[in-house]
Homo-oligomer: A and B are copies of this chain.
Amino acid sequence: MIIVLKAGTAGREIAQVEEKIKSYGLTAHVSRGVERTIIGAIGDERKMQPEAFEGMECVEKVLRILKPYKIVSRDFQKEDTVVTVRGQRIGGGTVALFAGPCSVEGREMMLGIGEKVASSGASFLRGGAFKPRTSPYAFQGLGEEGLRCLAEAREATGLPVATELMDPRDIDLVGRYADVIQIGARNMQNFRLLTEVGRLDKPVILKRGMSATIMEWLMSAEYIASEGNRQIILCERGVRTFETATRNTFDVSAIPVLKSLSHLPVIADPSHATGKMSLVEPLAAAAIAAGADGVMVEVHHDPETALSDGPQSLRPEAFREMVGRLKGIAVAMGKKLGNA
């Protein structure tokens, strides 16, 4: 950690900063320049909060040298983490293909869509039983009934199922049915929920918060990893910007940035990122070309009557055609696309 002092800081104050650094077990190294004195703290800076120094009168700014996350960093583990669930892989040369409806709306529907996407090459089924909705008056999901439909679709297709957990009180319930647990964008910094899924022995998809920096996102992954669970899959789903032509701005750069900072697999959700079905394919293609280890796509047999997210859902036939084209991109990248 580098601590830059204000111009004209007295020796007595410099000594206080040095003392404080030592109190954390680090070594202080003072360097007096013409315009500024700077102090380097040598040792494991993760033991100190920058705030501890920013609060001092004489401090102009504090610069971190090390990354604040550890277990999830590429420095900690060189080789890529590959997650395998019921024989389906995420990473390691396979672009996983998650598909299914936004919300599970019933047994028939889930089985119907499940079989269609499975036959088109999907490698995971998705579907929400508990739905975070902006409006208290909107459909909130089928709850346990939805989870049961997912489990039936798993039996029918043989594919693992992923579904969202919103409340720590539901962890046993959701854990009983799901193969992969999803933490939604709005809960990326619900630290209690992160701690709970960190204690499970089940893969967790951690979606990026609407305005989370990549560093904060990795810190949330660190919350999970620090409890023991290292089967974490990061999912880019767009960030909030000033642009209104799309619901969110899909941050495609986050994919290669994460691959360089962390060993965790990274997938993309082009459906939520844009909110428009016509943009799903170009963004899924872009994500694969940028190095993603998976894509998650919403599919609905009748988007016009969907209880949630209809405008961004593909019909099963459109999904099948898209898979054909995305496969070409995956092959150009030297990879396999789901079971396609």
> Interface on A for B, CB 8 Å cutoff?
2, 4, 7, 20, 29, 31, 33-36, 38, 40, 42-44, 46, 49, 51-52, 54-56, 63, 65-66, 68, 75, 132-138, 166-169, 186-187, 189-192, 195, 209-211, 213-216, 219, 222-223, 226-227, 239-246, 249-257, 260, 273-274, 277-279, 282-283, 285-291, 303-306, 308-311, 313, 328-329, 331-333
Contacts and interface: CB of A to CB of B under 8 A. Distances in A.
Given A36-B65, A38-B65, A260-B278, A249 B246 contact: no
Nearest to A33: B42
A44 to B, nearest CB: 7
A305 B55 CA distance: 8
Contacts of A55: 277, 303-304, 306, 310-311, 313
A256 B243 contact: no
A245 B215 contact: yes
How many of these chains are in the complex?
Answer: 4
A41 to B, nearest CB: 9
A338 B128 CA distance: 44
A97 to B, nearest CB: 16
A309 B65 CA distance: 20
A46 B132 contact: no
A197 B132 CA distance: 17
Contacts of A135: 68, 219, 222
A211 B216 CA distance: 14
A226 B31 CA distance: 30
